[in-house]
A = this chain, B = another copy of it.
Amino acid sequence: MILVDGQPTDSVDARDRGLAYGDGVFRTLRMHVGQPLWWRDHYAKLADDCAALMLACPDEAVLRAEVCRVAAAGEGVAKIVITRGAGARGYALPPGQAVTRIVQSAPLPAYAAAAAGDDIAVRWCALRLARQPRLAGIKHLNRLENVLARAEWNDPSVVEGLLCDEGGAVIGGVMSNLVIARDGELATPDLSQCGVAGVARARLLRAARRLGVRTRVERLPPAVILAADEVMLCNSVIGVRRVARLDDKTWPPAGWTDILKTALYEEVD
């Protein structure tokens, strides 16, 4: 089921700026027994992303009701897309604050199901992310880099690819954020130049600090990832997963993923 501006439909205006320019933002949420997990964090992030692109963020209660309306029973995924609406041709912002809101549901991807287990195999991607501080961190609709990076492999046993920026710093996965454990601390890449600063990453860092674990946001070269005690990937759909293999490199469990998974879901919403 899809709701566009609250109406059940499966289509949007062909002149929508989301289609013309990728002029909008989105959220992907995990649904559990018909309710969105981590809703407060998701709405706050959506509001921040809308503000960064000068988009009027829809009302929280309206959006939440629509997310619940499209949700199937049981486990699943909901997606919210906010665009700058259908406008005249040209890049200039249209007058007014009209947006299009699209809310839809999808089944849980196979890799996210509990049966998929906690440990995942990943690979390095060749594509280097461009650095654009004006868009960094925002979950916007300009995602061709992600599409090209994901097209680099077909092996279904490889769940995710790791991306570096053009300067060689590791930024994260194609669809997830990266957190490593080393020397009793957690570290995650600085996302001020590129990448998406996801809700799961923010929750995980917050949960770690509550447990008294020091967290660092910094530049992480590939060698630092390879030398880590444990490497984890997280997003709102998969939660947090341990990287058991990165191309030829393997890691035995060091215990961090289990601790953080528990903390991630105990963290107050």
Q: Which chain B positions have C-beta within 8 A of A194?
A: 130
Interface residues of A in 109-156 (CB under 8 A from B): 109, 127, 129-132, 134-135, 140-151
Interface residues of A in 81-129 (CB under 8 A from B): 81, 83-84, 88-93, 102, 104, 106, 109, 127, 129
- Tell me whether A23 and B147 are in contact (CB under 8 A): yes
Q: CB within 8 A of A144: which of B4, B11, B14, B22? A: B22
A11-42 near B? 1/0 per residue, CB < 8 Å = 11111111111110010100000000000000
Q: CB within 8 A of A109: which of B26, B79, B89, B102? A: B89
Instruction: Tell me the smallest distance from the CB of A163 to a CB of chain B, in Å.
Output: 12
Among residues of B, the one whose C-beta sits closest to the C-beta of A151 is B93
- Tell me whether B104 and A90 are in contact (CB under 8 A): no
Q: Which chain B positions have C-beta within 8 A of A248?
A: none
- Tell me whether B16 and A144 are in contact (CB under 8 A): no
Q: Which chain B positions have C-beta within 8 A of A19?
A: 12, 16, 18-19, 81, 83, 102, 141
Q: Which chain B positions have C-beta within 8 A of A81?
A: 19-20
Determine if A54 is an interface residue (Cβ-Cβ < 8 Å). yes
Best-buried of A79, A91, A134 by chain B (most CB within 10 Å): A91
- In the bound assembly, the distance between CA atoms of A53 and B83 in angstroms comes to 23
Interface size class of A (residues with CB under 8 A): 35 or more
Q: Which chain B positions have C-beta within 8 A of A2?
A: 14-15
Q: CB within 8 A of A22: which of B12, B84, B141? A: B141
- Tell me whether B89 and A21 are in contact (CB under 8 A): no
Instruction: Tell me the smallest distance from the CB of A182 to a CB of chain B, in Å.
Output: 29
- In the bound assembly, the distance between CA atoms of A92 and B102 in angstroms comes to 21
Among residues of B, the one whose C-beta sits closest to the C-beta of A129 is B132
Determine if A174 is an interface residue (Cβ-Cβ < 8 Å). yes
Q: Report 10 cross-chain contacts, Cβ distance below 8 Å, ordered by A residue.
A: A11-B11, A14-B104, A19-B83, A20-B26, A22-B144, A84-B147, A91-B146, A130-B130, A130-B131, A135-B145
Residue ranges of A at the interface with B (Cβ–Cβ < 8 Å): 2, 4, 9-23, 26, 28, 53-54, 77, 79, 81, 83-84, 88-93, 102, 104, 106, 109, 127, 129-132, 134-135, 140-151, 166, 174-175, 194
